[in-house]
Structure formats: structure tokens, C-alpha cells
Amino acid sequence: MSFSLKLSPLFIAIAATMAANAQAADESSREGFVEGSSLNLNARNYYMNRNRHQHTDDNIEWGQGFLGKFESGFTQGTVGFGIDAHAMLGLKLDGGGGTDNSSILPVSDGNGKAPGSFSTAGGTLKMRAFDTELKAGDLFLTNPVIAGGESRMLPQTFRGVSLTNHSFDGFLIEGGQASFTKPYNQSGHTRIGTSYGSLADGDESQHLNWAGVAWSGLPGLTSSLYAAELKDIWNQYYYDLDYTYQLNDLISLNPGLHFYHTQDTGDALLGNIDNNTYSLHFTVGVGNHSVTAAYQRVNGNTPFDYISQGDSIYLDNSQQYSDFNGPNERSWKLKYAYDFVGLGLPGLTSAVSYSRGETDLTKVDPDSKGYASWYSADGKHAKHWERDIDLKYVVQEGKAKDLALRLQWATNRGGNGYGALDQDTDEYRVIVDYPINVF
């Protein structure tokens, strides 16, 4: 058997593009292992207070976190090698006597007191050839199907391999596999779980595979398509489309869509899952003001779920406290944001939002392997609302440049059987970040 290949114009164009990128990559590789290195530190002080109205004890924790990240350049040549390394330290400033478990510090060992400190360190080997980069080790990942949680004192990481490619202008192609995760409030690694499902004792997923492409080829227009398999739990697919149109120097319009489809797979350790969830938003910007209206819909008798502690929920109504992701939930949000640069205060930004949702908890399978706790006979029209206030200031110059102070307040209230799912809660966060670029 013989094979013949005709070099079509498209193939020739692709080859030419790859050759050009290869030349550019070779030029950039001359930067060198040492010359391309960087070391960044961040000190994050984090206070969280969760006032759960039906509980006698609140969840209150205060901690100081330190994160150091070293990234080398690549050795010279067409194929370059490098290493990344990081270290984290978390210190307890307050939290105990029944006030732990706010998710800032490690879960206590039964005495109601979180440990005084926890730490971890990790490294990554990396290789670059042309415009493709391969990493193996402890990874910081951010995409719609596997994103490490960044919303606590220390970040979440994953242990595995990743591959990214920039062969074509405006495109990012990536994929990989992660077998373990380092949660943001622990020192050690665990298998990857989910945020809302409950696995039976002894059950665990062995790894998460993902692949995706993100595109930003036209001004103001972005889109991405991703797929992931959390082994023996689900296959999850994601698509988004976002467009910002500058009507004139003062007014901008921004419509957008996020869509997830989740389906059980393999041994279905969480039971049957068939979930379509989407959100739509429309933002009008006028100078330093913006107003956003969003609608979100969950189609399925299980909640929209994502990996434990992760930020891989790219939905418009995912708020500070609630994700508005209950079974068959419909929710809407109205948000107003203002940048105080308009009043001569650069670095100061604010946002206020109100979200409201209704979910049907009677359709949840009470015998579901992973989501039976969501069932409520009184929750056919379970409702809840959340009010969020966010104020942030970033120092613009001087010795404290880039130091950031953020204040967050969320109020969540439920009714019509929603109490079977969650309690009325007020949550306060005070976050101070001080990043330092060492070199």
C-alpha cells in the first residue's frame, strides 16, 4: 500500500506559520536560563467571618500567608529546558474554640482549633520547543474546567502534566492531566474531588484530563471551547463567547454567554448526572460606571458541580457566598460597579450586586449516590437571595506600590424550604495583598 500527500495551500500556510513561530521561539530562547528567571513574593493577610444565623458558633479565622514563586528562563537552543519552584507558608493569627472551619486554615483535628501553621513546597520541570511548552510537576492552572482556587489565603495547585501551544495568532491550545491537588488550606496532596458531590468512603477519581482552545483573534471578541474528564465521575464541556463593543469614547456594550454540559461517565461514582447550565450577561459601561444584568439557568436534577475548592465555575451568578447552581435553579443578578479614578482616586474600585434564585429540590433523586443531601420534600420553590459589596484599593506608586486592600461583604437569605440546603449567612472578608517583585 502506498500513500501520497498533496501540499494544499492551507498545509503550506500552516507550515510557514510554524516555521515563523519556530524562528521567533528560537530567538526568544536566547534569553537564557538565568537571564529569563524571576522571583516573586506575595504576603496575604486574610480575615474571614461567617455568621451563620442558625448556629451558636460563627466560623471566624484570621491568617497570614506567604507565597514565593521562582520561574527560570529556558536553556538556549531550539529545545529549551527550565524549572519552576514555589513555597507556601500559612500562619494562624486567630481561629479556634469552635470558630474554625471557615476554609482559611486547615480543618481542626477535633479539638476545635486549627493548627498554628501549615506549609508546602513544589517544583515543575518544563521544556519548550518552538511555540509549545510542556510542564510536569506542581502546576498553577486557570481555565474553565480546572482552575486552582485563588480566593483564600493561599492558592490551590495540581500535580500532573500540561501542554500549551501558540502556533496560530490569537489562539491558545492547551491540555493535560492532573492526578492530585494541593487544597488551599492544607499542606498535603489529595485526589481531586468535587465541590457539591459526596463520594462514598473509598471512592475517588484517579485523575482529571482536559483539553481546550481559547481564541482572541478580533478586537473585543473572545471565545473558548474546553472539555474535561474527571475519571469515573463526569465528562464536562464548556463554551463561551464574549464581545465588547465600544460605541464611542464614553459608552461600551458587552454581551456574553457561558455554557457547561456535564454528563456522568465510567463508574459514575456520584450517580447519574445530566446537566446543562448557562448564563447570559449584558453590561453597559458609561465612563467609569458600569451596570450588568445577568440571567443563569441550571437544567438538571443535580446541581452544577465543579472540582473541589477550584475556581472553575465561569458563570455570571457565581457570587462571593453562593453559586446559584442548585438543581433546576433559575437566577438573575443586577450589578453596579464604579471606578473612582473618575473622582481623582486611581486604584479605588467598587461593586454592588443583588442576586436572586429559585430552585426545585423535590426533583433531586433521594437515592442519588452523590447528591441525595440536596433533596427536600418542602423545597419545590426554594428561594434565596444574596447581596454583595466589594471595595478594593491598590496603591499606585511609592514604596508600597501594588499593595492592595480588599473589603467584601455578602448577605445570603433563604426561604420556602431552602433552609434544608443552606443556612442564612452573613460573610465578611478583609484581604491585604503585598506583592514583591524580587527580580
| 3-class secondary structure per residue, 374-392 | HCCCCCCCEEEEEEEEEEE
Instruction: Give domain status of residue 63, yes or no.
Output: no
Q: pLDDT for 270-297, tens place per residue?
A: 999 999 999 999 999 999 999 999 999 9
Burial of 52 (0-12, 13-18, 19+ CB in 10 A): middle
Is pLDDT above 50 for 24? no
Q: When comparing pLDDT for 267 and 23, which is higher? A: 267
What is the pLDDT at residue 9?
Answer: 41
How remote is the C-alpha of 287 from its chain's centroid?
29
Q: When comparing pLDDT for 346 and 95, which is higher? A: 346
Instruction: Give domain status of residue 33, yes or no.
Output: no
Is pLDDT above 60 for 12? no
What is the pLDDT at residue 28?
Answer: 47
How remote is the C-alpha of 215 from its chain's centroid?
19
Q: pLDDT for 227-263, tens place per residue?
A: 999 999 999 999 999 999 999 999 999 999 999 999 9
Instruction: Give domain status of residue 19, yes or no.
Output: no
What average pLDDT score do residues 404-422 get? Answer: 90
**pLDDT band at 58; cut points 50, 70, 90:** confident
Q: pLDDT for 198-214, tens place per residue?
A: 999 999 999 999 999 99
**pLDDT band at 60; cut points 50, 70, 90:** confident
Q: What is the CATH number of the domain that holds 431?
A: 2.40.160.10
Which residue type, as a one-letter code, is found at position 36?
Answer: G
What is the pLDDT at residue 22?
Answer: 46
Q: Phi-psi category of 4—alpha, beta or left, where left has phi over 0 and alpha has psi -120 to 50? A: beta
Q: What is the mean pLDDT of the chain?
A: 90
Instruction: Give domain status of residue 241, yes or no.
Output: yes
Q: Residue with C-alpha cell 429559585?
A: 358
Side-chain half-sphere of 4: how many Cα atoms within 13 Å?
A: 1
What is the pLDDT at residue 217?
Answer: 87
CB 61: neighbour CB atoms within 10 A? 25
What is the pLDDT at residue 94?
Answer: 86
What is the number of structural domains in the chain? 1
Q: pLDDT for 25-57, tens place per residue?
A: 444 445 789 999 999 999 999 999 988 876 666
C-alpha cell at 150: 485563588
What is the pLDDT at residue 95?
Answer: 77
What average pLDDT score do residues 69-78 get? Answer: 94
Instruction: Give domain status of residue 87, yes or no.
Output: no
Q: How far apart are CA 429 and CA 48, in angstroms?
A: 5
Q: Which domain range does residue 165 map to? A: 117-437
What is the pLDDT at residue 20?
Answer: 45
Q: How far apart are CA 38 and CA 36, in angstroms?
A: 7
**pLDDT band at 109; cut points 50, 70, 90:** low
What is the pLDDT at residue 99?
Answer: 60
**pLDDT band at 2; cut points 50, 70, 90:** very low
What is the pLDDT at residue 112?
Answer: 62
Is pLDDT above 50 for 19? no
Q: How far apart are CA 152 and CA 378, in angstroms?
A: 34
> Are the beta carbons of 131 and 24 closer than 8 angstroms?
yes
Instruction: Give domain status of residue 179, yes or no.
Output: yes
Q: When comparing pLDDT for 12 and 265, which is higher? A: 265
Instruction: Give domain status of residue 431, yes or no.
Output: yes
Instruction: Give domain status of residue 221, yes or no.
Output: yes
